[in-house]
């Protein structure tokens, strides 16, 4: 129901994203989109590129006088680095005499399979689009999705759980994470001691010409039960969220709730018993669920659907593949062994990836929400949402 597509090369004129399916009459402030884009640019361990870019969104369509029109929203983000690359990246420019062709694909990147697949002689034709610069466009789309979700009090947060071997304390609630304010931490790690160690780990890796991976958790509160479905494989929300998160460059694993950790325990210590409410049962606006749980090891998903608890997903990011100590590769023309290209690069981008993770989760959830409650206009959507809550919570559930 809500889908988006991106276009743009890393050093081309800019990025474009088109989002479809946001209902009409949703109030959007440009600052909300700018704020999300700024969050993606931050984080200790990032390279020089982020000092050049400003990532300002320019709305090309779908919003008028601050309100969505219910039609495709197009956003343009300029690449301020483009003037430095105009000779190389100009869409219709002549080849420059002696122009450098990139012939040494970087292991761990799209470079090698990409040139084979599209019959290119220049790795730059692949790396420009495969670059994670594209994730700025996703964050812009995700920012719109977040505004939509906030209309029903759904909020998304993330924090970094580990950097290399350094692990932070886990298991805090949405509220506790919010209070610790991951945005104010250089690595989004809300555990001061671990963060200090992790920063030192990144500094050491940079000195060695190495790079660093890690993990982050995305946490969402306010999701009513029943988003997603159990009826067909492609409608199960676990799969949709997992696919979206694994589509982020360098994300290699996704854990729903304590799913992976639970394989070491029995079922008795894995699932979340249900007790009669209201007691400490959850509120959705003025409505209250007629039951409650004491644990949330499932991470808010059971049977492919939300169950009303906080959604909790951990993502695992591999170390950045462009290295200042380049890896062995081959020259595409001669087949001889050479060292891989040294492109300007981050040493660690786990905090930025967490912000991209929030965006992808927002986009999947906004689509699931729109499927459930429909509505071409926000007024219809909100009415449907309210009447659903009234049915599942009943009169008993009201405050």
Ligand X SMILES: Cc1cc2nc3c(=O)[nH]c(=O)nc-3n(C[C@H](O)[C@H](O)[C@H](O)COP(=O)(O)O)c2cc1C
Residue numbers of the site for ligand X (CB under 6 A)? 47, 108-110, 130-132, 135, 248-250, 318, 320-322, 345-346, 349, 352-353, 356
| CA pair distance 98, 274, nearest whole angstrom | 70
Longest dimension (CA), the chain: 77
**Structure tokens of 98?**
């002696």
- Asked if residue 332 lies in contact with residue 191, where contact means CB atoms within 8 angstroms, the answer is no
Q: Which is nearer to ligand X, 208 or 261 (CB)?
A: 208
Taking the complex as a whole, the smallest distance from the CB of residue 269 to ligand X amounts, in Å, to 34
Q: Which is nearer to ligand X, 72 or 107 (CB)?
A: 107
Taking the complex as a whole, the smallest distance from the CB of residue 6 to ligand X amounts, in Å, to 14
- Asked if residue 109 lies in contact with residue 125, where contact means CB atoms within 8 angstroms, the answer is no
Taking the complex as a whole, the smallest distance from the CB of residue 250 to ligand X amounts, in Å, to 4
Beta partners for 162?
Answer: 167, 215
| CA pair distance 373, 356, nearest whole angstrom | 26
Q: Which is nearer to ligand X, 149 or 341 (CB)?
A: 341
Q: Which is nearer to ligand X, 185 or 221 (CB)?
A: 185
| CA pair distance 352, 138, nearest whole angstrom | 12
Taking the complex as a whole, the smallest distance from the CB of residue 191 to ligand X amounts, in Å, to 22
Taking the complex as a whole, the smallest distance from the CB of residue 345 to ligand X amounts, in Å, to 4
- Asked if residue 311 lies in contact with residue 220, where contact means CB atoms within 8 angstroms, the answer is yes
Taking the complex as a whole, the smallest distance from the CB of residue 366 to ligand X amounts, in Å, to 21
| CA pair distance 58, 271, nearest whole angstrom | 46
Q: Which is nearer to ligand X, 109 or 293 (CB)?
A: 109
| CA pair distance 7, 345, nearest whole angstrom | 21
Strand order in the sheet with 3-7: 3-7, 14-20, 73-78, 57-61
| CA pair distance 380, 201, nearest whole angstrom | 51
Q: Which is nearer to ligand X, 159 or 373 (CB)?
A: 159
């Amino acid at each position: 129901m809500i889908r988006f597509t991106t276009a743009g090369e890393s050093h081309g004129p800019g990025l474009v994203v088109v989002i479809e399916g946001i209902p009409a009459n949703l109030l959007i402030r440009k600052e909300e989109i700018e704020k999300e884009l700024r969050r993606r640019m931050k984080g200790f361990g990032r390279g020089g590129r982020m000092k050049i870019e400003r990532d300002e969104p320019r709305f090309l369509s779908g919003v008028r006088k601050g309100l969505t029109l219910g039609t495709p929203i197009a956003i343009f983000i300029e690449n301020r680095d483009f003037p430095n690359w105009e000779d190389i990246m100009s869409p219709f420019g002549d080849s420059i005499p002696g122009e450098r062709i990139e012939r040494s694909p970087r292991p761990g990147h799209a470079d090698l399979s990409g040139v084979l697949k599209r019959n290119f002689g220049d790795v730059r034709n692949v790396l420009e689009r495969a670059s994670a610069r594209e994730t700025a466009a996703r964050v812009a789309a995700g920012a719109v999705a977040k505004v939509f979700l906030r209309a029903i009090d759904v909020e998304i947060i993330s924090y970094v759980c580990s950097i290399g071997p350094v692990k932070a304390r886990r298991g805090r609630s949405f509220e506790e994470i919010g209070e610790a304010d991951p945005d104010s931490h250089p690595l989004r790690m809300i555990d001061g001691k671990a963060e200090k160690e992790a920063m030192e780990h990144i500094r050491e890796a940079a000195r060695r010409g190495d790079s660093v991976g890690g993990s982050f958790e995305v946490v969402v509160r306010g999701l009513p039960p029943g988003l997603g479905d159990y009826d067909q494989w492609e409608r199960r929300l676990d799969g949709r969220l997992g696919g979206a998160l694994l589509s982020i460059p360098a994300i290699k694993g996704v854990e729903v709730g304590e799913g992976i950790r639970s394989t070491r325990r029995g079922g008795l210590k894995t699932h979340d018993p249900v007790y009669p409410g209201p007691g400490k049962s959850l509120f959705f606006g003025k409505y209250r669920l007629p039951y409650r749980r004491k644990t949330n090891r499932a991470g808010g998903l059971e049977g492919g659907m939300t169950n009303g608890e906080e959604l909790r997903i951990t993502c695992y990011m591999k170390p950045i593949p462009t290295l200042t100590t380049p890896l062995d590769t081959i020259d595409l023309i001669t087949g001889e062994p050479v060292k891989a290209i040294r492109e300007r690069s981050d040493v660690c981008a786990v905090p930025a990836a967490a912000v991209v993770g929030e965006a992808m989760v927002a986009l999947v959830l906004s689509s699931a929400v729109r499927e459930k409650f429909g509505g071409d206009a926000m007024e219809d959507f909100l009415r449907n949402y309210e009447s659903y809550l009234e049915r599942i919570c009943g009169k008993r559930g009201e405050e």
